[in-house]
Structure 1
Amino acid sequence: MNERGKIVVEQITSEVLRGNFLGDPHVRELFIYLPPSYERDTTRRFPVVYCLTGFTGRGQMLLNTQPFSPNLAERMDNLLATGEAGEMILVMPDCFTRLGGSQYINSTATGRYEDHLVEEIVSFVDRRFRTRVERAGRAVVGKSSGGYGALRCACRHADTFSVAVSHSGDCYFEYGYLPDFPKTFRAIRGDAGKFIENFWSEEKKGKDDITALNIIAMSACYSPDKSAPLGFRLPFNTTTGEIDNEVWARWLAHDPVRMVEHHADALRSLKLLYLDAGTRDEFHLDAGARILSARLRKHNINFIHEEFDDGHMNISYRYNRSLALISEALEA
């Protein structure tokens, strides 16, 4: 029988999330996969991979069981058994908000989730477990909004992470978000606050409701405004639906496609930058990844870009590819 890693659950008390605008918990659960030899080889230090979930996700969900599909811990065990990857610690944070997600950004409208991840969680894990504490021993990987978070960390925190992997991460916002603006305009009917209240009161959330909540959540992340009643500004006029170019410009400043030129040196310092997307991605993130690749190439940044025949959902099998590459890069 193949050896299996162990899942441990820690509680982390966040000072940077305490008293956040949304009133979300500042005490969070942190799910951690320890490799099979962790308890046996008590002098060894292990590389660490921070695994970021997408919109509406939290770390524990990476360990959910599904028919015919292994969860993240089982995938890691399988890769160890076949020799495709070496032993690593996997850390699965909870950066969920009552709006569905944080984009791993500091925002006055949601909380300091970027600081929570990079400052609090990383230092907590390094204190609590036998990790390789240098950047060369750390990676960050995510899917969708988690992929966006990984790209953001690559740009802004290359002094903490040496490897970044984005599976279908948000980029080129014109394709990923703009098509949902008119849908959100119709869904909120001029009152985003009332929409949010109704959303939480309904037992069953519809697809269109999730779409609208996503744009609302992104507004809280990308265009916070302390003077606004909800703490953020939407990128369109809620009465007419016309795009607010000033707010939209604030969103675009957070687009990885635009961030590249401001963080080229940091990106060039990475041991591995990997991005992929399905050729049938419903949010057109395959095009976004191609555009991001062109920007990276323009700035002489090394990266790996791959495409696969699938959409945006149910693509956790892509972790088989990325975890093997991450292991190789961290051991190099």
Structure 2
Amino acid sequence: MSRESDTRPNVVFEVVESSLLKGNPLGDPATRHVPVYLPPSYRESETTRYPVIYLLAGFASTGMSFLNFSFGRPTLPEMLDSMIRKGEMPEAIVVMPECMTRYGGSQYVDSAATGPYESHLTGELIPHIDRQFRTLAAARHRAIVGKSSGGFGALRLGMNHPELFAAVGCHSGDMDFELCYRPNFPVAARILEKYDSNVATFFTRWESLDKKPRGEFALLDLMAMAACYSPDASMPPPGNMRLPFEPRTCQLVPEVWEQWKRFDPLTMLEEAQCQEALGSLRVLYLDCGSQDEYNLQFGHRRFSARATELCIAHRYEEFPDTHADTSYRYRVSLPLLAEAIAG
């Protein structure tokens, strides 16, 4: 093996056979290939055990996306390796879950329209990783972090599963649904008109195209969110969800919108069990670009202010950037999380 190969980040691909995802409504694979970053000393020691960080990808991305080459910018494993070798963060195993769906993402929730992805991650993937790798298999040595839909997933899973995680990082995570989702309703409704207001017709065509129309992404995104937040198991895919607005008038459908808002981290923050979960964390870190196109900075400011009122220790930062291409912010969160869960 060449010297160059020896110094590359050690990433292995773990094959996870999921019984929970078998027979899911969209026919997505139950076998998932999960990238796992192993720290530099993992090869050298056969006894050392390591804390674990679960790193969640955003919408339309998956675990493999963290390995993508981009000119002038390190991959996530390269960033990790560099920080660890320079002593900027403790060693940790970093798992990049594969929770993609035919609709572009799962939001890491259990849904009758897509499948039980929250249960898969918490009940199957975490035990699998603890069996297959030398982990410090306890909640105090486990963290979860992500950006955008991944940040939403990390924050929500941290609130729902304090028995599994001791630290949470949320980068530009979906929240304040009134501001981050509702402005796109008219945009999606205008696109939907081209398909006789039929979501299934739209998606069947979209899926058939080799080159996806960029101008229709807003409808795809909203359709995927509806599949996660307001599934309709009585309908076959790809129309097995209820939209939160009437396509022709774009008027809100109150009962569906209420279903959506139950997933909003700002709504969840008012629940006593979620407050207790966040209060038990060793680290709660949030950040957002001050020019975020999805208005997420406003939701994050509200979340931070309310957490402060509730005496929930956390760190919130804003930085001068938009929503896209902000993976460099992991240089801030990952060392904080790794320090919090280090052995």
- TM bucket (normalised to shorter chain) is over 0.9
> Does 1:128 find its partner at 2:132?
yes
Report 1:141-220 matches (<5 A).
Answer: 141-189=145-193, 190-220=197-227
Give the secondary-structure state (helix, strand or coil) at the position aligned to 1:37. helix
Q: What is the CA-CA distance between 1:240 and the residue it aligns to?
A: 2.1
Contact 1:12–1:30 (CA under 8 A) maintained in structure 2 = yes
Q: What is the CA-CA distance between 1:214 and the residue it aligns to?
A: 0.5
The counterpart of 1:65, out of the listed 51, 69, 77, is 69
Contact 1:4–1:35 (CA under 8 A) maintained in structure 2 = no
Q: 1:308 & 1:206 partners in 2: Cα distance?
A: 31
The counterpart of 1:255, out of the listed 257, 260, 264, is 264
Contact 1:261–1:299 (CA under 8 A) maintained in structure 2 = no
In the other structure, the counterpart of 2:331 is 320
What number of residue pairs does the alignment pair up?
332
| Partner AA of 1:223 in structure 2 | S
Deviations 1:142-198 (A, max 9, x none): 000000000111110111011110110001011110111111111122110000001
Unaligned runs of 5+ in 1: none
Report 1:284-299 matches (<5 A).
Answer: 284-299=295-310
Q: 1:273 & 1:207 partners in 2: Cα distance?
A: 35
Q: 1:174 & 1:104 partners in 2: Cα distance?
A: 20
The counterpart of 1:268, out of the listed 275, 279, 282, is 279
The TM-score normalised by the length of structure 1 is: 0.97
In the other structure, the counterpart of 1:39 is 43
Report 1:82-97 matches (<5 A).
Answer: 82-97=86-101
The counterpart of 1:99, out of the listed 97, 103, 107, is 103
Q: 1:228 & 1:78 partners in 2: Cα distance?
A: 49
Q: 2:235 & 2:303 partners in 1: Cα distance?
A: 33
Report 1:239-254 matches (<5 A).
Answer: 239-254=248-263
Contact 2:154–2:169 (CA under 8 A) maintained in structure 1 = yes
Q: 1:25 & 1:75 partners in 2: Cα distance?
A: 30
The counterpart of 1:223, out of the listed 230, 233, 237, is 230
Deviations 1:234-261 (A, max 9, x none): 0011232211111011101100001012
Q: 1:67 & 1:3 partners in 2: Cα distance?
A: 19
Report 1:3-82 matches (<5 A).
Answer: 4-82=8-86
In the other structure, the counterpart of 1:280 is 291
| Partner AA of 2:328 in structure 1 | Y
Q: 1:135 & 1:49 partners in 2: Cα distance?
A: 11
The counterpart of 1:304, out of the listed 300, 315, 328, is 315
Q: 1:331 & 1:110 partners in 2: Cα distance?
A: 35
Q: 2:231 & 2:306 partners in 1: Cα distance?
A: 27
Give the secondary-structure state (helix, strand or coil) at the position aligned to 1:69. coil
Deviates more, 1:255-264 or 1:2-11: 2-11
Q: What is the CA-CA distance between 1:226 and the residue it aligns to?
A: 1.8
Give the secondary-structure state (helix, strand or coil) at the position aligned to 1:311. coil
Contact 2:49–2:135 (CA under 8 A) maintained in structure 1 = yes
Give the secondary-structure state (helix, strand or coil) at the position aligned to 2:42. coil
Q: 1:196 & 1:27 partners in 2: Cα distance?
A: 24
| Partner AA of 1:321 in structure 2 | V
Give the secondary-structure state (helix, strand or coil) at the position aligned to 2:33. strand
Give the secondary-structure state (helix, strand or coil) at the position aligned to 2:119. helix
Give the secondary-structure state (helix, strand or coil) at the position aligned to 2:58. coil
Identity %: 45
C-alpha RMSD of the superposition: 1.3
Unaligned runs of 5+ in 2: none
| Partner AA of 2:66 in structure 1 | L
| Partner AA of 1:217 in structure 2 | A
Deviates more, 1:186-195 or 1:99-108: 186-195
Contact 1:11–1:30 (CA under 8 A) maintained in structure 2 = yes
Query: Which segments of structure 1 move beyond 6 Å, counting only runs of 4 or more?
Result: none
Q: 2:118 & 2:11 partners in 1: Cα distance?
A: 24
Q: What is the CA-CA distance between 1:208 and the residue it aligns to?
A: 2.6
